[in-house]
Amino acid sequence: MPILAEKRAAGPAAESPVFEWRTAKTPVPYPAAIETMEQRVADILAGRAPELIWLLEHPSLYTAGTSASADELRTEKLPVFQTGRGGRFTYHGPGQRIAYAMTDLRTRGRDVRGHVCRLEEWAIRVLKEFGIKGERRAGRIGIWVDHKGREEKIGAIGVRVRRWIAYHGLSLNVHPDLSHYRGIVPCGLPDFGVTSLQALGAQATIQEVDEWLRRHAPAIFEN
């Protein structure tokens, strides 16, 4: 069980001066999210807008990344969206915090792998605040925990890059309905489970997770 300590009080959230921050109050339809991200990427490239971190939830749905295989979709009870991000099938829905990071890699070494590592580190630091030890695994992008001797995924990463502007980003399972993951082969990895902060015993709210995402962002993206 990876619960290490009681969660810490967040205090006032730190604001990153580099990014604009948005938080959606209601679930955002997936096509609308894609349209918003595509427009912001264009605006960043044109110098019309700053980088953006957008915190949101989606209605229950599946997305298929560029490496997804049709046989990894086990049911069509939920809407399925093809997307240009990397990766395979994943689930999005209420209780999952998504952090879409529209990030200018031209100022960060033009390093896509480095950007993925930043997103992973961001999630790992947030999980630590709730007493959960998130870890990387060689050859498997995302954030993993050791739960009762079994490796389970608690956070997924998927990015797309256009002219060195990265978008899409991180999803972190706070308290989603984990049964929906049975409708797919999550991330193309049938031998591993999926978990959440709630399933690990951390009584975290989406708002508390947001506070820690904001507090850790400057160290992740500005240093």
Distance, CA of 96 to CA of 51 (rounded, Å): 23
Does residue 117 carry a catalytic annotation?
no
Q: What one-character-per-residue DSSP string does 64-76 give?
A: E-TT--GGGB---
Q: Cα angle at 27 between 20 and 12, to 5 degrees?
A: 45
Q: Which amino acid is at 125?
A: R
Name, in order, each residue with C-beta under 8 angstroms of 100's C-beta and a sequence gap of 6 or more. Answer: 33, 37, 52, 53, 54, 56, 167, 168, 169
For 122, phi then psi, to 5°, come to -60, -50
Q: 46: which 2 tokens?
A: 């044109």
Q: Which of 187, 200, 204, 209 is catalytic?
A: 187
CA distances from 146 to 34, 64, 78, 121, 133 (A): 33, 26, 29, 17, 8
Q: Catalytic positions, please?
A: 187
